Structure 1
Amino acid sequence: MFIEPLVGSGKRGWIEVICGSMFSGKTEELIRRLKRAKIANLKVEIFKPAIDVRYDEIKIVSHDENAIHSTPIDNSQKILLLAQDVDVVGIDEAQFFDDEIANVCDELALRGIRVIVAGLDMDFMAKPFGQMPFLMAKADYVTKLHAICMKCGSIANYSYRIIPNEAQIMLGAKNAYEPRCRVCFTLDGALE
């Protein structure tokens, strides 16, 4: 269970990472935390990679169609420029950002900003995805969410690609991926 840290008399920042497979509820949890921050009258800025236009060009949208306004960017350094005078920064699909995203999040936390990052921890080949391992290492809090295996109903933490494509980055949803447990992911040859 995630426990929100209390800010003392000085403004202190930290990094929270929400990770897991496709359909585990990462974006839903990110949106939930960001909406709670807004209810608390905190100034919030939200970012997503410009390449992620699956559901909307501007908004962050969960698979359940819950949405929140965001700013699409193509370079993580822009977050430092756009996140001035804020209390909370939300970042979705962090695995798609460039190599500087972990350092950007670290800088924001040092400025006293609460940084909430969501992303896939592994790609469709069960390999660490993008900068997520570095973000998880720098994070003060890590929440790993699980989906339900589409083959057996067990907990799932793998994103199985159901259409042939060897590219690491391939945007898709239920038409391209399904969550799998370790056994079903392996039985279908994904870990061979």
Structure 2
Amino acid sequence: MLFSEDVFKRKSEHGGSIEVICGSMFSGKTEELIRRLRRAQIAKLAVEIFKPQTDTRYHETDIVSHNQISIPSTPVDNASAILLLGSHVQVVGIDEAQFFDDELPYVCNTLANKGVRVIVAGLDMDYLGKPFGPMPAIIAMAESVTKVHAVCVKCGNPALYSYRLVSDNSRVLLGEMDTYEPRCRACYQLP
């Protein structure tokens, strides 16, 4: 996709920003996203929350953490829908950002340039340890990045990898503890 130069110019007078919460599965990304969004709601800011329509693991519409903490959201088919639905609020939350299309960085930047605080949560790496979806581009343009870690189930060290337990080579495989487990660098590399 081609981006017009003026979209990427920061407009500090508007006060918009992009915050990223990233890490492996089971690291608390969604919990942290929900915490930040609830604080914005307590401050009586206009908040809109989005998730990919394909993520129905815990609930059809709500964003739900693995610990069953939830917040209502709007499931969308593509990133451009976020731009349409989230352009008239003060805070936009986006969960499972790695599953969105390559338009998401443009959408986040456009909203931020319009003065919206955009909070994005997602996996920064897939199960092979490779950068995942639009996350690298969003991380590169964000004002702040919070990398959270799970606990390695093998040794107890901080885990940054999502180790796939099942034999499936598809890049996207929705799952929980029966499908993935968090592992540190050393335990992830074991044959």
TM over 0.5: yes
C-alpha separation in 1, matches of 2:138 and 2:13: 24
Tell me the equivalent position of 2:67. 64
The yes-or-no answer on 1:156 pairing with 2:159 is: yes
When the two chains are superposed, the root-mean-square deviation of aligned CA atoms in Å is 1.0
Map residues 102-117 of structure 1 onto 2, 5 A cutoff.
102-117=105-120
Displacement of 1:68 in angstroms is 0.2
C-alpha separation in 1, matches of 2:80 and 2:150: 32
Percent identical across equivalent pairs?
62
Displacement of 1:84 in angstroms is 3.3
TM-score (norm: length of structure 2): 0.93
C-alpha separation in 2, matches of 1:32 and 1:54: 20
**Counterpart contact for 2:87–2:111, Cα < 8 Å:** no
Task: Give the letter aligned to residue 63 of structure 1.
Answer: H
Deviation track 1:106-152 (CA, whole Å, cap 9, x = no partner) reads: 00000000000000000000000011000100111000000000001
1:142 to 123, 141, 145: 145
1:27 to 26, 30, 51: 30
The yes-or-no answer on 1:95 pairing with 2:102 is: no
Displacement of 1:175 in angstroms is 1.1
Tell me the equivalent position of 2:80. 77
Tell me the equivalent position of 2:3. none
Task: Give the letter aligned to residue 38 of structure 1.
Answer: Q
C-alpha separation in 1, matches of 2:172 and 2:69: 24
Task: Give the letter aligned to residue 95 of structure 1.
Answer: Q
Residue 89 of structure 2 aligns to a residue in which SS? coil
1:121 to 116, 119, 124: 124
- Which stretches in structure 2 are left out of the alignment for 5+ residues? 1-11
1:179 to 170, 179, 182: 182
Displacement of 1:44 in angstroms is 0.1
The yes-or-no answer on 1:133 pairing with 2:130 is: no
C-alpha separation in 1, matches of 2:22 and 2:175: 17
C-alpha separation in 2, matches of 1:30 and 1:125: 25
- Which stretches in structure 1 are left out of the alignment for 5+ residues? 1-8
TM-score (norm: length of structure 1): 0.92
Displacement of 1:63 in angstroms is 0.4
What is the total number of aligned residue pairs between the two structures? 180
4+ long deviations beyond 6 Å: none
After TM superposition, the structure 1 stretch with the greater mean CA deviation from structure 2, 82-91 or 44-53, is 82-91
Deviation track 1:145-182 (CA, whole Å, cap 9, x = no partner) reads: 00000001111000000111000000001110000000
C-alpha separation in 1, matches of 2:88 and 2:74: 16
The yes-or-no answer on 1:17 pairing with 2:20 is: yes
Displacement of 1:10 in angstroms is 4.5
Task: Give the letter aligned to residue 117 of structure 2.
Answer: R
Task: Give the letter aligned to residue 169 of structure 1.
Answer: V
C-alpha separation in 2, matches of 1:11 and 1:34: 20
Deviation track 1:47-88 (CA, whole Å, cap 9, x = no partner) reads: 000000000010000000000000000110011110132000
